[in-house]
Amino acid sequence: MNDVGFESREEINDASLGGHNYGWPIEEGLVAAAQFEKPVYVYNHTTSTTTTDSTGCAITGGVFFEPLQTNYPQAYIGKYFFMDYCGKWINMIDPISGSGRKTFATKTPRYPIAIDHHPDGNLYYLTRQNGSIYKIVYSGQPVPIITRQPEFVKVMVGQELKIPVSVSGAEPMTYIWKKNGVVVSAAKGNELATSNVQYADSGMYTLTITNAFGVGETKPIKVQVIAYNSAPVAMIDQVLDLTFQGGQTYKILGHATDLEDGQLSGAGFSWSVDLYHGTHIHDGMPVSGNENMEFTIPVAGGHTETNIFYRVTLLVKDSKGLMDTAYIDLYPEIVDITIKSEPSGLQFTLDGTPYVAPYTFKTVKGIRRTLGALDAQSRQDTLYQFQTWQHSASSLNFIEPLSNSTYSVQYQRASVTGLDLSQDIGFKVYPNPIDESFIIEVPEGGTLHLLDAKGRMVMGHLPIHTGENKIDLNLDRGLYLLVYKCGASQKQIRIMKE
């Protein structure tokens, strides 16, 4: 299972069995804490625009390479292949040991989102950079082989002609381009490029590749030079407010002109709103057919980071298929939020991640954040129980701040008599508060899981049988949650160690 990182690590985890705690959002990477399951493989998370073949920003595609038939070498069979959204690489590991990370491919297009093997035995991957699916073919031979070529190219008079061809084979290789059987002396390499093309450049082109092991040749490529047609010009009307906050609605107007077609109608318009986050992009669904675009910044369900902006892009197309784009960028309004606790130094959670108060962070104005208070927690050998937030009596609540704000959470000293340590019918623990040894009584066999006051797994998947079970645990002082699972049912009891 690919686990997208937060600040420092990207992970591949073994999720073949349920019930494991992989540390999110408390820990990431190869942590020492026994309550968290260690990943099979980790690599460094980076916000830099430059990544190596072992760093990235978000692990995305992954596949176990186990096709029914393939001509790939045996060394690739059974390996786990994976990609990163910001990396330009494909790596592989041994899924059993997690070791032996090897670089399979580099200089791949950015923003991959999926990789899989096909019944034909080859790997395929999908990228957002150019909206393409790529096929990885293993030739197994050193002779030149054409892996990709166009069959038809249309270009206007005065423009640049480009014919790219992808080739595999042993180096060095020589390239000879021909037009209608005549060598094009100026063409070098596997891409033919000619500027300021004229009607006389129309014709059938071929590329012949030669190395020490043999010869490869493209199929004929038809080039058609057509009359010049000017591209349209796209424009977005001025937007007075180029900053945003959660819940804000924008109505943006655009228009376009074309030398041949005149004023273009909405039928040739297409809009998109993309979220730029750090070094990568979350592209939105295009909306076509309108000269205006109306959308609302989401309050919840999106990114809570502040290093984001939205790009609104207008794409217009004329009657000949030529296109132009215009765009505007919307940047977030930022506010400072401070969380305090009474007494000071106690924990709270922000979007599920624990922090110690007082704590100040930046957030986008109007974006929903989730504040949580632990029901009970220990500090300096004193047990505290949640009382209230200054703005809400609930321990878990949402805020959508529109200005710099301070939120306070109140705790009070707890005693055994003040805690709810009630027993569920059929699920009992005694004594409670517990000693080093205590008894658990259950109606049916199942498994036990023990979590501390921070929600971290202390013990997991302990099998127990019907009736009484003696448990020996050397726990620190504090409050714990004991979870009993039997089939699809689950029950829990708070226990305390004085």
Beta strands, E only, 8-99 = 9-12, 41-45, 55-56, 59-64, 80-84, 89-93
Kindly tell me if the per-residue pLDDT of 421 is higher than 70. no
pLDDT average, residue stretch 339-365: 92
The single-letter code of the amino acid at 387 is Q
Q: Coil, strand, or helix at residue 417?
A: helix
Cα 124 → chain centroid: 19
Alpha carbons 141 and 134: distance in angstroms, whole number: 20
pLDDT value of position 424: 59
Q: Coil, strand, or helix at residue 267?
A: helix
**pLDDT tens for residues 249-299?**
999 999 999 999 999 988 999 999 999 988 788 888 889 889 999 999 999
pLDDT value of position 418: 46
pLDDT value of position 223: 97
Q: Coil, strand, or helix at residue 12?
A: strand
Kindly tell me if the per-residue pLDDT of 314 is higher than 90. yes
User: Pairing between strand 214-217 and 174-179?
Assistant: unpaired
- What domains appear along the chain, each with residue ranges and CATH number? 2-136 (2.120.10.30), 145-226 (2.60.40.10), 233-332 (2.60.40.10), 334-414 (no CATH), 420-497 (2.60.40.3080)
User: Pairing between strand 334-342 and 405-413?
Assistant: parallel
pLDDT value of position 423: 58
Alpha carbons 114 and 128: distance in angstroms, whole number: 10
Kindly tell me if the per-residue pLDDT of 308 is higher than 90. yes
Other CB atoms within a 10 A radius of the CB of residue 139 amount to 13
pLDDT band at residue 381 under the 50/70/90 scheme: low
Backbone angles phi, psi at 334, to 5 degrees: -110, 140
Kindly tell me if the per-residue pLDDT of 422 is higher than 70. no
pLDDT value of position 456: 67
pLDDT average, residue stretch 35-46: 85
pLDDT band at residue 205 under the 50/70/90 scheme: very high
**pLDDT tens for residues 111-141?**
899 999 999 999 999 998 778 899 998 877 7
Which of these, 435, 431, 445, lies nearest to 484 by C-alpha position?
A: 445
pLDDT average, residue stretch 73-93: 92
pLDDT band at residue 416 under the 50/70/90 scheme: very low
pLDDT band at residue 417 under the 50/70/90 scheme: very low
pLDDT average, residue stretch 211-239: 94
pLDDT average, residue stretch 140-156: 89
Q: Coil, strand, or helix at residue 418?
A: helix
Share of the chain above pLDDT 90, in %: 51
Kindly tell me if the per-residue pLDDT of 370 is higher than 50. yes
Out of 123-137, 146-160, 375-389, least confident range? 375-389
CB 279 within 8 A of CB 48: yes
Alpha carbons 336 and 338: distance in angstroms, whole number: 7
Indicate the length of the chain as a whole number.
498
Other CB atoms within a 10 A radius of the CB of residue 26 amount to 18
CA atoms within 13 A on the CB side of 435: 6
pLDDT average, residue stretch 429-453: 86
pLDDT average, residue stretch 139-146: 84
Beta strands, E only, 187-258 = 191-194, 203-211, 214-217, 221-226, 233-236, 243-244, 249-258
In terms of pLDDT, which residue wins out, 449 or 367? Answer: 367
Kindly tell me if the per-residue pLDDT of 46 is higher than 50. yes
Which residues, including other chains, have CB under 8 Å from residue 33's CB and lie 6 or more apart?
23, 27, 456
